[in-house]
Amino acid sequence: MQERPTERLAEFVLQLRYEDIPSDVVEQARRCILDHLGVVLIGSTLPWTQIVYRYIQRWARAGQSTVVNFGTQYVHMDTACANAVFAQGCELDEYGSGHTGAVVVPTALALAEETHCSGREFIASVVAGYDVTGRIHKATEPSLLRRGFQPCGTLGPFGAAAVAGRAFGLNPIEMMHALGIAASHASGLTEYDQTGGEVKRLHAGLAARSGIESALLAREGLTGPPTAIEGKRGFCHAFSDTVDAGALTRELGRQFAIMDVRFKFYPVVGGLQGPLFALQQLVEAEGIQAADVREVRFGVEETTLAHGGSIVEPHDCASAQFSLAFSTALRLIRRSNDLALYRDPACWEDETLLDLARRVHLRANPQTEVEIVMRNGKTHAASLAHPKGSRGNPCTDEDLEAKFRPLAASVLPERRIDELLAAARNIENLDDAANLAALLVAPRG
């Protein structure tokens, strides 16, 4: 009988147990969860994400799941939507598997408050959600992104459905239908990387909500195609021109997609992480000053060329974060790529920054390269095989904590940050994972 990946993935999602997960994968899950807790906290403070929160305040139903920072409680799908929007709110969430964590972690948090699952079950559900999403990502990339579909919005419903299916106790047939229903929820376009627009922040929230809804509808008896992912008119072939169907189940249960995660250290789209690391290293090594620079040339991957090379003069935070030219100008002139600079409208209109941004040029190249041409004719060059935070250049736990603390400090006092760090480091020992959500709200008084 021919293998049906949708069915196999559904079975895998429900059968995976904490005890089956290798120790390095558990450690990676802890790191991903911690990273997202910090990103969700800073994301909750941003004006464009609070638009969505105000919308949810007005229309959501009361429930048991807690909105990060604000402490209000709504039904799981509304809370997951809000927190997932926060997670994608500032371009500091991890990348490499379709921004999976921005959907999966908030979904797991929201449902943990209703199911009161253990920390070990929390980890297992997060790993399962990453794996389903990451495998579909591998099967459809890079074509999916080239065609203009945003991975977080299109792939996220599968990961959220996986987490929710475990939480709601679906059986394998219901889980298969939940994935089939999630396929019809897939949505999200990348036109924002051409002309801006903050709607990109919403994609993770829509994915979290629709994944939960998919699992609930399957539990009620609604059916989806048993070949919704791999079929002739299924997700992969509808969203991608070139499909690696084998990636859907290859080494299933032995190789885990969460290991492909790349952690961010700049608040920009993933493809700009490597170029900015290379630029920073070159600038610091050569002592380069902006006034002496004639032009900057980058060699970047083809997907980055389309996903971060189209915008030179931003008009909102999203377009600034998707512009390598603007990011380069910030690094050279302001000597920083801090989130506050991307948020500042004065920077978008700063003619000194824009003049340099117009002198940044990109070309397609398999390996990240940067050349800085000086006004005196001299050229400085550097290349980077792997950005910091990737599998080829891993970051340390200390790096992630150094990233986490200032993000968390946007909402929490130091004592609460210490408590949250301790809980995240030992999440597998929590009797009730709902305790994590309580730590994401500042203590009153």
Successive 10-residue mean pLDDT values, the chain, 445 residues: 85 98 97 97 96 96 96 97 96 90 98 97 98 97 92 96 98 98 96 88 96 98 97 97 96 97 96 96 96 97 82 93 96 97 97 98 93 97 94 95 97 97 96 96 84
Amino acid 2: pLDDT: 59
Amino acid 327: pLDDT: 98
Q: Where are the domains of the chain?
A: 5-265+392-438, 270-384
Amino acid 1: pLDDT: 44
Q: What is the DSSP letter of 358?
A: T
- To the question of domain 5-265+392-438 being in CATH 1.20.1070.10, the answer is no
Q: Are 384 and 257 in contact (CB under 8 A)?
A: no
Amino acid 445: pLDDT: 62
Q: Using CA atoms, how far apart are residues 246 and 362, in angstroms rounded to an integer?
A: 34
Amino acid 356: pLDDT: 98
Amino acid 100: pLDDT: 94
**CATH T-level fold of 270-384:** 60s Ribosomal Protein L30; Chain: A; (3.30.1330)
Amino acid 306: pLDDT: 80
Q: Are 167 and 117 in contact (CB under 8 A)?
A: yes
Is the bond preceding residue 275 a cis peptide, omega within 30 degrees?
A: no
SS (H, E, C) 18-48: HHHCCHHHHHHHHHHHHHHHHHHHHHCCCHH
pTM of the entire predicted model: 0.96
Q: What is the DSSP letter of 330?
A: I
